[in-house]
Amino acid sequence: MCVERKVRFEERGSFSVSDLSRTSLWGPGFPALLLVLGFWLSLVFLAGGVGFPLAASAQSAAQERTFVVVVFDGFPPAYVDGFPTPGLDRMAKQGVSARAMDPAFPTVSLSGGVTLSTGCWPENHGVISNLFMDPERGLYDHSSDADWLIGCEHLHQAAERQGVPTAALGWYGRYSATRGALASQGPPGEKNFFDFPDDAGRLGQLVDFIEQPPESRPRLILAYFKGPDKAGHTYGLEADETRQAVMEADAIVVALLDAIEAQPDGAQIQLLVTTDHGMKPVEELVNIQRILRRQEIPARAVSAGTSSFLYFDDPSEAVLSEAVRKLSAYDAFEVVRRDAQPEDWHIGTGPRVGELILSARPPYFIEDAEAWPVWVRWLAYVGPDLLPSGAVLSATHGYPTGTPGIEGILYVRGDAFAPGREIDRVRAVDVHPTVLHVLGLEPGKPVDGVVDSRWLR
Ligand SMILES: [Zn+2]
């Protein structure tokens, strides 16, 4: 609508200007000229209220905004239903809340977080799981190095490219091994996913940025929090320890809202709180190395969460079809060929994806023995195919998008967003373009997500 009005105004304006240019300024037509000029000026004035300057003011409103994006690791909507969350409830009143945010497959931290940050599916950004093999670089293992991207831009990269300073606190891809820091501000170090301070330390860093005067504050501030992920894994979705972790995360939301509302431009500070994935109870652990040995399948398994990539030295059809035949006998997981994946997986068919993919069915979990405590790793050689998970793991994530329980939370407030609006489902890929749109910026190049206009005021 604004664009249409702008065009109309420009058409009227150009008519008046060209008309004036053909008129002798001080000749007998001068009174008529004044009329034309008056008419033209009044058009400018009237249009000023509703037309072209509205587009300009929308752009300048966007330029006055700050956007704070917060990710809590492992936060399903079930926690909001089950535990007190006054901070998130306050956000829901102030802005938009989603019943479910669909993360990308596999629903684990690094592929989930990089999808949020780039607005691309894993097949296009390249971080297809927490662990995978790259034929040239070798094993990827939870790295935050932006050089692992095969395409797309992180939020901070796209904003910095457009001249907007950003701060990235423990954020995905905040540094590059070859190019250095990619966000102009943020704590040095923290090169690895596990190098973060505790969440209280992170909150302090974030509030320091929010309390800067608008002129010097980075306009896009990104922060990762460990959140309730570990408590959910260890104790399950309903435990007191998980309740405690959820309440601590919610207290961070309260502190952020208090800090934002105390600023002179508090309404212009947008806050988005989301997660990389949800959480779901598990009961049995798939002893994948033992299964490969027992079945004499010549593949290397690289597993994270509930999916496992199988890489074959000899990926001939005979070898693959024999492996598919043997592995299909297990109910614990689905066996999928790299070139025959479900359409909504979006991890692509590049060389980082194993020739076969095992995707666990709930309540099973797949993990490589190297990730187990040293004193039980022998089970990969002589143990059973399946182990009860209870002693080490109560809940997990990684199942395909759309699996009930694997969805996450999403809340967003600020002057750009509709107050009190509840939306059923939103997508992780749409976070990046929507955040940048609200700041008046273009999305990264390329991008798979779209601006989710349902969030906007
Ligand atoms: Zn986790």
Residue 415 CA to residue 439 CA, distance in Å, equals 11
Q: How many residues does the chain have?
A: 457
Ligand 1 center from residue 232 Cα (angstroms): 8
Q: How confident is the model at residue 264 (pLDDT cuts 50, 70, 90)?
A: very high
Mean pLDDT of 29-44: 42
Ligand 1 center from residue 397 Cα (angstroms): 6
| Residue 136 clears pLDDT 60, i.e. is over it | yes
Ligand 1 center from residue 161 Cα (angstroms): 32
pLDDT of residue 392: 81
Ligand 1 center from residue 279 Cα (angstroms): 8
Tokens 């998970």 -> residue: 389
pLDDT of residue 8: 28
Quick: pLDDT tens for 395-419. 999 999 999 999 999 999 999 999 9
Ligand 1 center from residue 233 Cα (angstroms): 6
Ligand 1 center from residue 253 Cα (angstroms): 20
Ligand 1 center from residue 353 Cα (angstroms): 21
Ligand 1 center from residue 377 Cα (angstroms): 21
Among residues 148, 88, 83, the alpha carbon closest in space to that of 113 is found at 148
Q: Count CB neighbours of 259 within 10 A.
A: 20
pTM: 0.86
* Domain chopping of the chain, boundaries: 64-281+405-455, 284-393
Residue 436 in contact with residue 152, Cβ under 8 Å?
Answer: no
More confident residue, 373 or 211: 211
Q: How confident is the model at residue 7 (pLDDT cuts 50, 70, 90)?
A: very low
Write the CATH number of the domain with boundaries 64-281+405-455. Answer: 3.40.720.10
Mean pLDDT of 443-455: 98
Ligand 1 center from residue 432 Cα (angstroms): 22
Ligand 1 center from residue 324 Cα (angstroms): 28
Look up the CATH architecture of domain 284-393: 2-Layer Sandwich (3.30)
Quick: pLDDT tens for 138-193. 999 999 899 999 999 999 999 999 999 999 999 999 999 999 999 999 876 666 66
| Residue 433 clears pLDDT 50, i.e. is over it | yes
Q: Among 6-20, 159-173, 360-374, whose mean pLDDT is lowest? A: 6-20
Ligand 1 center from residue 125 Cα (angstroms): 21
pLDDT of residue 114: 98
pLDDT of residue 237: 97
Ligand 1 center from residue 396 Cα (angstroms): 6
Ligand 1 center from residue 80 Cα (angstroms): 18
Mean pLDDT of 81-102: 98
Quick: pLDDT tens for 57-66. 888 899 999 9
Ligand 1 center from residue 82 Cα (angstroms): 19
Q: Supply the mean pLDDT for the chain.
A: 88
| Residue 371 clears pLDDT 80, i.e. is over it | yes
Ligand 1 center from residue 94 Cα (angstroms): 29
Phi-psi region of 16 (alpha: psi -120 to 50; beta: other; left: phi over 0): alpha
Sorted by sequence, the CB contacts under 8 Å of residue 300 that are 6+ apart come out as 133, 310, 311
